[in-house]
Amino acid sequence: MLDFAIFAVTFLLALVGAVLYLYPASRQAAGIPGITPTEEKDGNLPDIVNSGSLHEFLVNLHERYGPVVSFWFGRRLVVSLGAVDVLKQHINPNKTLDPFETMLKSLLRYQSGGGSVSENHMRKKLYENGVTDSLKSNFALLLKLSEELLDKWLSYPETQHVPLSQHMLGFAMKSVTQMVMGSTFEDDQEVIRFQKNHGTVWSEIGKGFLDGSLDKNTTRKKQYEDALMQLESVLRNIIKERKGRNFSQHIFIDSLVQGNLNDQQILEDSMIFSLASCIITAKLCTWAICFLTTSEEVEKKLYEEINQVFGNGPVTPEKIEQLRPSSFMPLVWYFRILILGHLHTSMKYLSLYL
């Protein structure tokens, strides 16, 4: 009887300890202010949904807890830095994992890294070189697309509204698809088909997964799965086509193919890069041009710098390197090329109606 009593007490204490450990409110980020998970499985995803967006959620969180806060994205602890000075203190040039990439892969149910530090470092260098090589190889393409868009703007009456976000998304789709996947996307119909599938997948990543509504709506879920399947099918065909062959145009997938990655890694990484790059490029260009055209002082400084560096000559990669260093990533080239292509004739004009 005594043995049973000891066993019962021990089991009860162990059970209480397990409950306290596993209960969401007990999951604290040691030393980092923030909130505990609302749900064990989803963490603070319900709070993000209730806030209206991740941006609003983070704004409220930093107002409550300061420049460094923590929250739970599912079962993953996330630390958010809300001040430039704090960000500078924590920048790690040797970082090999991208949390944004990890999050996207998780939402797409792809593998989230898992390699050794040396493997992740090699992949990071591979991607950086892939972006650089793709930009250099497709520089003429970027100029062509920029000039086409600028000619379209210059044909508008000064009083006509320019749907900047829409135009920048179209520009990003045309440039990124050709830089990542090649000449297949010289066909506008292929770009339109990609943009439709991209929009379906991206909208569900931003909403359907977060609030759980995707799994509850069979029609939406089928549309999402069909769109993702079509995107993957296109990528598989391109990967197969580019393997073991040489092309005059170097694209991002070529760097992955040459990097001794397996087909699934190439598929996942090119999918993540394609999805994210289109949105990042479009938003970067949109806000850069918006701020530029509403700030006469910045506009004047940029115009003077361009005159000094380019003069009356053409836009070239070598001259772009002479521009003052920017804190932006290499994708800022898109913005620079877009503006620089015909800046001498369009700067003042664009500021009138954007």
Cα–Cα nearest to 24, from 11, 37, 33: 37
Residue 114, helix vs strand vs coil: coil
Whole-number Å distance between alpha carbons of 211 and 48: 9
pLDDT recorded at residue 92: 62
pLDDT recorded at residue 102: 67
CA distances to 118, 225, 258, 269 from 262, rounded to whole Å, are: 17, 23, 10, 11
Q: What is the pLDDT of residues 27-79, one digit of tens each?
A: 555 578 999 888 887 888 888 888 887 788 889 999 999 999 999 887 778 88
Residue extent(s) of CATH 1.10.630.10 domains in the chain: 117-347
CATH 1.20.1260.10 corresponds to the domain 117-347:
no
CB 172 within 8 A of CB 282: yes
pTM score: 0.69
Say whether pLDDT at 349 is over 70.
no
- Which has the higher per-residue pLDDT, 180 or 118? 180
pLDDT recorded at residue 281: 87
pLDDT recorded at residue 97: 56
% of the chain beyond a pLDDT of 70? 74
pLDDT recorded at residue 114: 56
pLDDT recorded at residue 8: 38
CA distances to 12, 18, 82 from 6, rounded to whole Å, are: 10, 18, 52
Say whether pLDDT at 311 is over 60.
yes
Which of 126-135, 186-195, 207-216, 321-330 has the highest average model confidence (pLDDT)? 186-195
- Which has the higher per-residue pLDDT, 99 or 80? 80
Q: Name the least confident of 3-17, 168-182, 241-255.
A: 3-17
Whole-number Å distance between alpha carbons of 133 and 251: 8
- Which has the higher per-residue pLDDT, 323 or 56? 56
Task: Name the pLDDT band for 3 (thresholds 50, 70, 90).
Answer: very low
Say whether pLDDT at 4 is over 60.
no
pLDDT recorded at residue 9: 36
Structural tokens at position 113 = 């890294």
% of the chain beyond a pLDDT of 90? 22
Task: Name the pLDDT band for 194 (thresholds 50, 70, 90).
Answer: very high
Task: Name the pLDDT band for 252 (thresholds 50, 70, 90).
Answer: very high
Q: What is the pLDDT of residues 196-243, one digit of tens each?
A: 999 999 888 766 666 667 778 889 889 999 999 999 999 999 999 998
Cα–Cα nearest to 343, from 136, 146, 175: 146
